[in-house]
Amino acid sequence: MTKVVLVKEIFKMNILGAIEKNANANGGRLAFSSRAGEITYQSLWEGSDRLAAWIDGKLKDNKKPVVVYGHKSPLMLVCFLACVKSGRAYCPVDTCMPPERIGEIVEAVDNTLVLATEPLDVRGRFIADSTLIERCMSYEERITKDKWLSPEHVFYIIFTSGSTGKPKGVMITENNLDNYCEWSRNLGGDAEDKDGSVFLNQAPFSFDLSVMDVYTSLTNGGTIYSVDKALQQDIKKMLAYMEAGKLKYWVSTPSFADMCLADPSFNSKLLPGLKAFLFCGEKLTKRTARKLMERFPEAKVVNTYGPTESTVAVTSVTVTDELMKDDGSLPIGIAKPGTEIRIVRADGTVAAAKESGEILILGDTVSPGYFNNKKKTDLAFSTLIEDGKEVRCYRTGDAGYLDENGMLYYVGRIDMQVKVHGYRIELGDIETNLTKYDGVSAAAVVPKWQDDKIRYLAAFVVSDKAEGTFEERKSIKTFLKGMLPEYMVPKKVAFVDSLPMTSNGKTDRKKLEEYL
């Protein structure tokens, strides 16, 4: 068991303070660059000050979180900082989400104001579009620091897949994010070395992996170099774009690296300055790590682990030749300072070294819970007393074990939650929406595993109206695309007369996986 190590208050990071310091020291340096535009630290800081004043004047006593909608625009970063400077949390929503899911999130947040850098049609809300946002960045009045969020207040809310078919919002406080960045600033390299470095941004801002590159970069005075969704569809063009960006720190899911590795030009000649790969969001296989170590011999390959509920990541390990020689999968790391990893058996007792059980996370980056959802919060979160101090605890639903040295290994899920290409997905969410399709009486979704990774999802559907034709399968996929993000839509759909059952009356998912 790794014990919680409290970070001394004197060294504690303050997100806004660190960004302000970088804006004052290097105001002309690019804070963010993408094909949608770029912004310097000075413009980011001053523009968010003015937008924050406008938001505060617009909303007055309304302190509800604010939805920020768009895709890879520098204005989104301005909106994020403006919200927290005005004393309100922000909720990032990406354009890749279908209208129904966007509407559900907007309704759940329930603010009269939505900030949108892309066209958005949501009834009953005041939409501040990119033109208005840019005008407000020239607003004469600037926000004062007494309006800023307090450390214990919620900084952002990221909505993830929920088992009931409705998304659930994970709340992360400023304290959570401060403590995370205090650690991540030195992840894969010293904070001093990261000053002025270029960080790859692959994930959309609605995916918590983006927090790793966005705030690690902004607190280190780096430049976020963002790859948009459309560019990711053209590998040759994307790699040329990356080469021009002179990347130093790579932040992505392993699946994204696999996609790049399919092109032989993806090597140290293309990115000679690359210092580290920082992975999170899904399992890093030895196959992927080996290829990266061969093609980028001077760059570190860092594996990390953590759920959205504990602010991106809580463990890390640098992959070495020695680890590659060991039998089994790669470890997912040692707990960061301020965090304890605890493995518990089904009866709640602490497991022995190398004994598998549920992974519990205790520490200073654990979320206060789910937005306006006490029932879900109480099931997954708790507050424990450790050494006379209150410590937040989160039940991950992941199975794993610790070795004698406190190194954590991931075994799999103990529930119906999976990760596909880095996105966390509740299979029950997809199944609930499948049963909304006309004629579908039952449905089960299972993953197809290959080389220790989930390659795709398959849906098995029971319907008294369908004959199982190609057009019917296509129709179901089209239906789901209108209900769910694209990454949640099963690649394969099969019609069956009935779902197989286990002896205790539950759907036999293992049997379904055998059909794939």
- DSSP for 442-488, written as a single string: EEEEEEEEETTEEEEEEEEEEESS----HHHHHHHHHHHHTTS-GGG
255-274 pLDDT, tens per residue?
Answer: 899 999 999 999 999 999 99
- Residue 510 and residue 369 share a domain: no
The amino acid occupying position 437 is Y
Residue 278's beta-bridge partner residues? Answer: 251, 302
Round to the nearest angstrom and report the end-to-end CA distance of the chain.
Answer: 38
Structural domain contains residue 416: no
The C-alpha atoms of residue 224 and residue 199 are separated, in whole angstroms, by: 5
- 171 in Cβ contact with 91 (< 8 Å): no
pLDDT of residue 207: 94
Rounded mean pLDDT of 432-460?
Answer: 91
pLDDT of residue 11: 41
Q: Which of 41, 23, 202, 52 is nearest to 115 (CA)?
A: 52
Q: Where are the alpha helices (DSSP H) in 344-469?
A: 374-380, 427-434
Instruction: Give percent above pLDDT 70 in the chain.
Output: 96
pLDDT of residue 49: 98
Residue 373 has φ and ψ, to the nearest 5°, of: -145, 75
Residue 89 has φ and ψ, to the nearest 5°, of: -70, 155
- 282 in Cβ contact with 255 (< 8 Å): yes
Structural domain contains residue 405: no
User: What is the CA 463 to chain-centroid distance, rounded?
Assistant: 35
Structural domain contains residue 411: no
pLDDT of residue 473: 94
- Residue 428 and residue 389 share a domain: no
Token output for 340? 């304890």
- Residue 179 and residue 107 share a domain: yes
- 446 in Cβ contact with 511 (< 8 Å): no
pLDDT of residue 7: 39
The C-alpha atoms of residue 230 and residue 223 are separated, in whole angstroms, by: 21
Rounded mean pLDDT of 185-210?
Answer: 95
Q: State the pTM of this model.
A: 0.88
390-445 pLDDT, tens per residue?
Answer: 999 999 999 999 999 999 999 888 888 888 888 889 898 899 899 899 999 889 99
- Residue 449 and residue 300 share a domain: no
- 161 in Cβ contact with 425 (< 8 Å): yes
pLDDT of residue 452: 82
| pLDDT(8) > 60 | no
Average pLDDT, the chain: 93
CATH at 445: 3.30.300.30
- Residue 480 and residue 379 share a domain: no
pLDDT of residue 13: 67
Helix (H, G, I), strand (E, B) or coil at 111: coil
The C-alpha atoms of residue 516 and residue 503 are separated, in whole angstroms, by: 22
pLDDT of residue 10: 33
Token output for 385? 């007393």
The C-alpha atoms of residue 14 and residue 92 are separated, in whole angstroms, by: 21
The amino acid occupying position 238 is M
pLDDT of residue 9: 38
Residue 426's domain comprises: 421-514
- Residue 168 and residue 212 share a domain: yes
Domain total in the chain: 2
pLDDT of residue 416: 80
Residue 354 has φ and ψ, to the nearest 5°, of: 70, 10
Rounded mean pLDDT of 184-198?
Answer: 94
- Residue 427 and residue 390 share a domain: no
90-103 pLDDT, tens per residue?
Answer: 999 999 888 999 99
Chain position carrying tokens 């709340």: 171
Token output for 120? 């958005």
Structural domain contains residue 233: yes
Structural domain contains residue 296: yes
User: Strand 276-279 relative to strand 37-40: parallel, antiparallel, unpaired?
Assistant: unpaired
- Residue 467 and residue 337 share a domain: no
The C-alpha atoms of residue 373 and residue 155 are separated, in whole angstroms, by: 17
101-132 pLDDT, tens per residue?
Answer: 999 999 999 999 999 999 999 989 999 999 99
Residue 430 has φ and ψ, to the nearest 5°, of: -65, -45
Structural domain contains residue 255: yes
Structural domain contains residue 207: yes
- Residue 460 and residue 368 share a domain: no
Which pLDDT band holds residue 5 (cuts at 50, 70, 90)?
very low
pLDDT of residue 74: 98
243-259 pLDDT, tens per residue?
Answer: 999 999 999 999 899 99
Rounded mean pLDDT of 20-31?
Answer: 97
pLDDT of residue 12: 56
- Residue 364 and residue 425 share a domain: no
Token output for 143? 């926000």
Helix (H, G, I), strand (E, B) or coil at 278: strand
List all residues 6 or more positions away from 267 whose beta carbon is below 8 Å from its beta carbon.
295, 296
301-350 pLDDT, tens per residue?
Answer: 999 999 999 999 999 999 999 999 988 889 999 999 999 999 999 999 99
- Residue 454 and residue 339 share a domain: no
- Residue 110 and residue 245 share a domain: yes
Rounded mean pLDDT of 353-362?
Answer: 96
Token output for 127? 């939409």
Which pLDDT band holds residue 504 (cuts at 50, 70, 90)?
low
- 92 in Cβ contact with 80 (< 8 Å): yes
